[in-house]
Amino acid sequence: MLYKKPVSVLVVIHTAALDVLLLERLRHPGFWQSVTGSQEDDEALLETARREVEEETGIAVGTADLQDWKQTHRFEIFAEWRDRYAPGVAENTEHVFSLCLPDRVTVTVAPDEHLAYRWLPWREAAAACFSWSNRDAILELPVRFPGLARPL
C-alpha cells in the first residue's frame, strides 16, 4: 500500500473582489473548504498546488499564477484519515497558497472528492470553513492583498 505524504497544500482561490471559492466535501456533507491536497513523491509544492487546483476545480493555471504565502501550519490528522498515512504518522504540514482570478468562474468539482461549490464574500467564506487554518487564511486575504479588499 502506498501511503500519503504528511505534506499538503491549501489553495485559497479568490476573485479581485475577494469572493472566495469553497468546495463541499463528499465524505462530510456540510464541511466546506478551499482546495487542499497532498504532495506526491518529490513534486515541488507549487506544482502540488497547481495540480490540486486543476484536479478539484477544473481550473487550469500555471505555477506562476499562484502566490506562495511562505506560511505553514502543523496539525493533527483526523483519526478517520490516519490509515492513509504510514503507521505512526499523526501530524501533517500544510503549505498555504492563493490564486486570484479576475471574476467568479464556473467550476467542475472532482466528483470523488466534492459534492458542490460556491462563491462567497471573504467574511462569509471564512465563517463557513470547518478548518481553522483555512478560516485564518481567508481572513488574511484583505491584509495580504489590500488593494483588492472591498470597502467596509
Would residue 83 count as lying in a domain? yes
Nearest by Cα to 25 from 141, 121, 112: 112
- The pLDDT value given to residue 150: 55
pTM above 0.85, yes or no: yes
Would residue 149 count as lying in a domain? no
**Separation between Cα atoms, residue 107 and residue 18, nearest integer Å:** 17
Would residue 33 count as lying in a domain? yes
Beta-bridge mates of residue 79: none
Would residue 22 count as lying in a domain? yes
Would residue 151 count as lying in a domain? no
For every one of its 152 residues, what pLDDT tens digit does the chain have, with 9 covering 90 and above?
Answer: 588 999 999 999 999 999 999 999 998 899 999 999 999 999 999 999 999 999 999 999 999 999 999 999 999 988 887 888 899 999 999 999 999 999 999 999 999 999 999 999 999 999 999 999 999 999 999 999 888 765 54
Would residue 85 count as lying in a domain? yes
Would residue 137 count as lying in a domain? yes
Identify the domain containing residue 21 by its residue range: 7-144
The C-alpha cell 482570478 sits at 101
How many domains is the chain partitioned into structurally? 1
Query: Quick one: DSSP state of residue 151?
Result: P
Nearest by Cα to 113 from 47, 58, 50, 41: 58
Q: Rounded to 5 degrees, what angle do the CA atoms 115, 117, 120 make?
A: 145
- The pLDDT value given to residue 152: 45
Identify the CATH number of the domain in which residue 127 sits: 3.90.79.10
Would residue 42 count as lying in a domain? yes
- The pLDDT value given to residue 1: 59
**In Å, how far are 32, 41, 95, 111, 147 from 133, measured between CA atoms?**
13, 24, 10, 24, 23
